[in-house]
Structures are given as C-alpha cells and as structure tokens.
Chains A and B, each alone.
Chain A
C-alpha cells in the first residue's frame, strides 16, 4: 500500500519536477541527456525571460478573467435562484437547455460567434472576450447556484414575504447574503476555467497584444528560438494564479467538483 502511494506521488510530481528543474537551469545547462538532473548552478534567468515574454498577456488574462468571473457568477446566482425557488411550467426544460450549453464543443458556435462579434465591433478586443466568457460561463454557474439553492428551505423564502418583499427583493435581502459559499465555488470554477481557456482566446483575439496568457504560452512553445528552460519556466509562471488559488482554496475546489456535476 505504501509503495503504491509513493509510486502515485512520483507520477503526479514528475511533470512538476521537470518544469521546476528545467526552469531553474541556464540555457547551456539544459541538454537532452541531463533532463532529470538537478540544476547546477540554480539560476533564475529563465524565469526572468519567461516573465518578460508573458507579463503583458498575464495582464490581459486578468483583465478578462476577473470581470467575466464576477458577471457570470452574478447571472448564475439569479438564474439558479429563479429556477430552484420559483419554478414555472417549463423551468426544468430551461434549466436542462442551459446546462447542455456547458457540454457543447465550442467549435460548433465559433463561425457565427466571430461574425456577431465583428458586427458588434467587439472582435479582437478584451471586451469581446469578456462577453464570450460571461455568456458561455452562465451554464456552469447556473448549475452550481441552482444546486446550492435547492438545499435552502422554502420557509426562508416564505418568511421574506412577511416584509412584503417581491421575488427580487427576497433574492437581494435573504438569498444573496447566504450565498457566499456558492459564490466561492462558482468563482473558483470560473476563474480556473477562463484563465485556462485556449480556444476562445485563440479565435476571438488574434492580435498578440491582446492575447491571453495560454495563447502566448503556446506561441512560446512553437517558437524554435525559445529554449526549453524558458518554456518550462513560462508554463509555471502561466499556471501560478490558478495554482495559488488551488493551494489556498483547495477545499472549496473539491466541493465545486461535486456541485458542478448534474445531480438527479
């Protein structure tokens, strides 16, 4: 049993070890035959160069990820509330139609999406990318919030009626204040998903100056002049924001996984 755990840990640590060790080597210290060896001496040069090449695209990623995360969570919480506490005749059909949007391959909407963004004057801009992530992110946030609100007792909603509050008043004064756990889960899910997005960034923002970091990282890896140490350092730099989020809020990450799966 102990051997199995050690073996599994080695498997999971191996790529992280490779990225770290290679990223800390100098260019002339990187060679095919010494891939597994520790760097000697340890140098931070590759990280500096990677940061130099990725900093502006990291900034773009933050500019897109933060508002799109906030917006899609807010929309998801309203939708989830309406679909769980104010059911109407076709509310389940609407819910399933929204959740299905989470699974579609986005390739099947890209051509009309690009034409629509061009029509709106948003093609190639970070604002366009925010819009795209907000809209398609709505599916998973609606699911997360709806699954959260289903477990809130209806009596709480009824109590709100004492003050004569309406549907949206109850949401604002009663439901929203107790939604913080769902917001944390939704925000982690969305931040990670949008930060790690590749397809939308690739297609919506072709201009290198407005590209998100994952596209910049991929460009780095297909540039032959870039050495492996810089590429590995770059992969770690690009992964840092979601990795920190995971290390700090990992507990919520796990509840997000189960909240993000459709329950019967």
Chain B
C-alpha cells in the first residue's frame, strides 16, 4: 500500500507540470479582466478623459481627479453613507441572524424548524431590485409603516399631549442625526474643513432595514451551520458544572462562533461597501444625497456625465475600501494552509 502510494507520488510529480499549463487560459483571461482592467481603470483615473471622446493622456496634475473627488460635497456624503450603512448593517445583520439562529435552535424542533429556516432565508434568493421596490412602498411616508403607526393610536395620545404626530419621512427625510463634526474638529482642527454633515442620515435607516430583511437569513444560516458543529457534550459538561443556559451561550457558544462571525463580517461588509442595486431600486441619491453611495456616484460620473477620470478614481476608492476588509482575511486563510 505505502509502496504503491510512493510510486504514484512519483508519477504524479511528472504529471504535476500539466496542472499549471491547464490553468493558463483561466488565469490569463481572469487576470486580464480583473487585474488588467483595474490597472487600466487606474490609468483612466490619472488621465484627461472627461468627455465622450477617449483620451488617455496623463493629466498635468495626475492626482487631480482624486483631489476633486475628496473635495466633492457629493462624494463626501457618499463616503459617510457607506461607513454608516456598513456599520449599521453589520450590527443589525449579526444581531438578527444570531437571534434567529438561537431562537430556531432552542425553541423549534424538527420539520417546523426547517420551515422557519427556509422562510427567513428566502429573501436572500431575491434580487436587490425586488427588495428595493417592495420596501420603497412600505416606507412611503403617505402609507405603509406610517399607516401601521397610526393604527396603534399613538398619534391620538400625542395629539392629546399637544405634540405633533409621529410620522417619519423615512426615505424622504434629509436630516443627519448625531452630528460629530464639532467633536472631530476639536480633536483634529483641520477636519473642520469638511463641509458635509457627519452623522447618521435618517433616510439610511429604512435602507438598512430592507438590507437586514434580505441578509438576516444569510447570517442565520451561517450561524446555524456553526452551531451544529458544537458538540452537545461540550454544553452538557457545562450544564453538569452548574452553568445556566445564558452562561453557556455567553461563555462557550459565542466564542466558538467567532470564525463564523468573521466570515459574515467579511461577506456582508464587502457587499455593503459596494451596494448599488438596492439604492437604485429603493431610494436613488435621496434628499441632499442622504442615501447616495460611491457605487452610484461611479455610475453617474462614468456612464451619465462621461467624467470617466472622476468615475474611475471613485471606483478605485471603492476597491480600496473592499480590499482593506477582505485582503487580511484571504491572506490569513492562505497562511493557514
């Protein structure tokens, strides 16, 4: 057995050179379409190309597009929105997914568990455009959620108390709450130059809820897969030692779910940093760019205004953000092999 394995190992060594050769077509095409094109986009971002006519000549100020980008009021709003949306969505998705997974694991058994799991994961199979269309109407201030708020009678109570009715504008609300501009400027005075209001745009909250609807089931499924790998004996042993169920979750289960949580953060984080479809389908740029994102900025600049250099620069900022999130994770999985 071991002898024949050794023979085959030697034979495989000879065959081994075929593998890289067979990969060449894939590597060449994929290398061109991903890395070659990213490099080309880099060239465009440094060029004079800002009309319909292609012009790849290097701009007299090659970084001019990037300077214009960072000084642009719209793009500053986009960066703020991307950060706020990503943080809100990560927190929301992880909490929702974890709650659903624990709920299904502890309170539902057998076939019914499968049914609920399928229901909660269902939105993940839908397009962001479908999600956006449905939720846009639910968050229409004239109907949807606000009708439900009226139905609770809370607005009668408020009227009696002499306070205006609770009727959020949702996607139409231009407000930015919890501003941090002054706080930032007091820590680092040059930041006072930022014209954009830094805080949480209210209109992003409905967008976050719609995305949680779509991605919460994904996080739940990942957590359920993680929970199923924790042996029952581990929990049983803790129970014998007198640990309560809550303690078991906090001290044993949650720490063991950490790798799953990292995967969710990477996958959800990467997709929220490049969100595009949902914004187009649900809200567009929003009031005062309250729901605008870099993905939409790139599309408008490159394919609407034909400001190719500016669009290219913005797309590379997007790429940089995603890379910062994803690359350490990929590098770690490479090291582990």
Contacts and interface: CB of A to CB of B under 8 A. Distances in A.
A1 B103 contact: yes
Given A107-B299, A135-B29, A262-B330, A217 B18 contact: no
A225 B148 CA distance: 27
Given A88-B19, A88-B20, A107 B12 contact: no
Contact of B148 (A36, A136, A202, A261): A36
Interface stretch (B60-68, B200-208, B271-279): B271-279
Contacts of A111: 40-41, 44, 302, 308, 311-312, 315
30 contacts: A1-B106, A5-B107, A8-B99, A15-B123, A15-B134, A16-B134, A18-B144, A33-B147, A82-B23, A96-B334, A97-B35, A109-B38, A111-B302, A111-B315, A112-B41, A158-B4, A196-B127, A202-B299, A217-B129, A218-B129, A221-B129, A232-B133, A235-B129, A243-B126, A247-B118, A253-B125, A257-B218, A258-B225, A262-B333, A264-B333
Nearest to B274: A105
Interface string A13-43: 1111011001000000000110110000000
A142 B299 CA distance: 29
Interface in B323-337: 326-327, 329-334, 336-337
A121 B293 CA distance: 32
A9 interface: yes
Contact of A250 (B17, B38, B118, B136): B118
A195 B130 CA distance: 12
Interface string B302-316: 110000100110111
Contacts of B128: 196, 198
A158 B10 CA distance: 11
A178 interface: no
Contacts of B276: 107, 198-199
Given A5-B116, A112-B37, A257-B221, 5 more contacts: A78-B22, A107-B302, A110-B298, A235-B134, A242-B125
A142 B128 CA distance: 25
A86 interface: yes
Given A8-B120, A88-B16, A158-B8, A104 B137 contact: no
Interface of B: 4-5, 8, 11-12, 15-20, 22-23, 26-27, 29-31, 33-38, 40-41, 44, 54, 99-100, 103, 106-108, 116-123, 125-131, 133-138, 140, 142-144, 147-148, 213, 217-218, 221-222, 225, 259, 263, 266-267, 270, 273-274, 276-277, 280-281, 294-295, 298-299, 302-303, 308, 311-312, 314-316, 318-319, 322, 326-327, 329-334, 336-337
A107 B318 CA distance: 8
Nearest to B150: A33
Among B8, B26, B120, B129, max chain A CB count under 10 A is at B129
A81 to B, nearest CB: 9
Given A8-B103, A35-B137, A218 B308 contact: no
Interface of A: 1-2, 4-5, 8-9, 11-16, 18-19, 22, 32-33, 35-36, 75, 78-79, 82-83, 86-88, 91-94, 96-101, 103-113, 115-116, 135-136, 138-139, 142, 155, 157-158, 161, 166-168, 192, 195-196, 198-199, 202-203, 214, 217-218, 221, 228, 231-232, 235, 238-239, 242-243, 245-247, 250, 253-254, 257-258, 261-264
A contact face: mostly helix, strand, loop, or mixed: helix
Contacts of A83: 23
A137 to B, nearest CB: 11
Contact of A108 (B16, B38, B129, B281): B38
